[in-house]
Amino acid sequence: MADCTHDCSTCSGSCASRDKSSFIKPLHEGARVKKTIAVASGKGGVGKSLVTSLLAVRAMARGYRTAILDADITGPSIPRAFGTTLRATGDEGVIYPVRTKDGLQLMSMNALLEHDDDPVVWRGTLIAGAAVQFWTDVLWEDVDIMFLDMPPGTGDVPLSVFQSIPLSGIIVVTTPQDLVEMIVKKAVNMAKMMNVPVLGLVENMSYFVCSDCGKRHEIFGRSKAEELAGEYSIPAVARLPIDAGIARLADEGRIMQADTDALAEVFLAVERARGIGDYSGKN
């Protein structure tokens, strides 16, 4: 319909937009992924890549075969956090994911660029298409849990990913500033429109613990994580501190050494989330 708002909750019409499965793209032949978790936010700079990395670290520590699809095409940072500069390879229409020394499978735009600091100067439709191709054209091997590091906002890439990739759920990342409610609301409402459950809320940079006195300081204001989770019926909450040690591990490519206990409740929600069904590639 010409006047479609893409909000099916306000429409009584019958069209393909109501059936999300009509847009789902298949995996490459031979690929297999059991569960997909998107890490998203309504704005940038809140630490989605850090949360994605820490969740992947926790998954691997618990014996899950883990992958990260870095859907932040213009600002990829996942390879550096895991200390890999390997480039993806491929042949005859298939791309092989990069594997870190710890066994993580990942695909990121930086794994395709000649130099890490080469900019990706593309329009939105091309960027969105590349993110979806990381799902359809990569030979993901027997992945138990795939985390998708999403770009900020609710534009072309998040919309294409939510429509094209079957998601088990999303984790919303935010910070404690006053505009946090708007950020959470945008992400939650988009997930609701796309019929994807919100599994958890992670409040990053929630507080700082003084190394001298041990006192906890809420530098960016009082935490709103618990009350927001209650308001939007989000089942799991985590508060991550401002921690120079974790930042240093990420910068040095040693994120696998990070302590992930603060994400225990959220990761439990990930474990309990339903799988995506049979979206493995045809054999």
Q: pLDDT tens-digit profile of 196-224? A: 999 999 999 999 998 888 899 998 888 88
Six-digit token string for 71: 């859907």
pLDDT of residue 282: 54
Residue 7: per-residue pLDDT? 47
Pairing of strands 169-174, 36-40: parallel
Q: Give a yes or no: residue 281 inside a domain.
A: no
Q: Which residue has better confidence, 9 or 200?
A: 200
Closest by alpha carbon to 131, among 106, 153, 152, 160? 160
Residues 46 and 43: their CA atoms lie apart, in Å, by 7
Measured distance CA(272)–CA(195) in Å, rounded: 18
Whether 13 maps to a domain, the answer reads no
Closest to 15 measured CA to CA, from 29, 5, 25: 5
Q: Which residue has the tokens 């990420």?
A: 250
pLDDT at 184: 80
DSSP sequence for 218-251:
-TT-S--HHHHHHHTT--EEEE----HHHHHHHH
> Looking at residue 10, what is its pLDDT?
47
Predicted confidence (pLDDT) at residue 16 exceeds the cutoff of 50: no
DSSP string, 244-281: HHHHHHHHTT-GGGS--GGGHHHHHHHHHS----S-PP
Number of neighbours of residue 235 by Cβ within 10 angstroms:
16
Question: Quick check: 127 and 137 in contact, CB under 8 A?
Answer: no
170: exposed, middle or buried (C-beta count within 10 Å: 0-12, 13-18, 19+)?
buried
Kindly report the pTM of this predicted structure.
0.88
The pLDDT, as a whole number, for residue 27 is 95
Lowest mean pLDDT of 6-10, 124-128, 163-167, 253-257, name the range.
6-10
> How far apart, in whole angstroms, are the C-alpha atoms of residue 235 and residue 229?
7
Q: What is the arithmetic mean of pLDDT over 188-194?
A: 88
Quick check: is 17 in a domain?
no
pLDDT, one tens digit per residue, over 115-151 is 777 777 667 788 888 889 999 999 999 999 999 999 8
Per residue in 38-78, pLDDT tens?
999 877 788 999 999 999 999 999 999 999 999 988 888 89
Residues 6+ apart with CB under 8 A from 112: 87, 88
- Residue 69 lies inside a defined structural domain of this protein: yes
Domain total in the chain: 1
Note whether residue 251 is domain-resident.
Answer: yes
pLDDT in tens, 223-254: 888 988 998 899 999 999 999 999 999 999 99
% of the chain at pLDDT higher than 70 = 88
Q: In this structure, are residues 137 and 94 in contact, taking their beta carbons and an 8 Å threshold?
A: yes
Q: Answer yes or no: are the C-beta atoms of 141 and 98 closer than 8 Å.
A: no
Identify the residue with better confidence: 268 or 211: 268
More confident residue, 283 or 221: 221
What pLDDT, on a 0 to 100 scale, did the predictor assign at position 279?
Answer: 64
Structural domain containing residue 90? 26-272
Tell me the C-alpha distance between 61 and 233, whole Å.
29
Task: Determine the Cα–Cα distance for residues 75 and 207; give it in Å rounded to an integer.
Answer: 26
Q: What is the DSSP string of 33-88?
A: BS-EEEEE-SSSSS-HHHHHHHHHHHHHHTT--EEEEE--TTS--HHHHTT--PPP
Read off the CATH number of the domain in which 43 is found. Answer: 3.40.50.300
Tell me, what's the pLDDT at 108? 93
What is the tens place of the pLDDT at every residue in 82-114? 999 999 998 888 999 999 999 999 999 988 887
Q: Does 163 map to a domain?
A: yes
Q: Is 103 helix (H, G, I), strand (E, B) or coil?
A: coil
**8 A C-beta contact, residue 20 and residue 195:** yes
209: phi then psi, degrees, rounded to nearest 5: -100, 120
C-alpha–C-alpha distance, residues 226 and 239, integer Å: 9
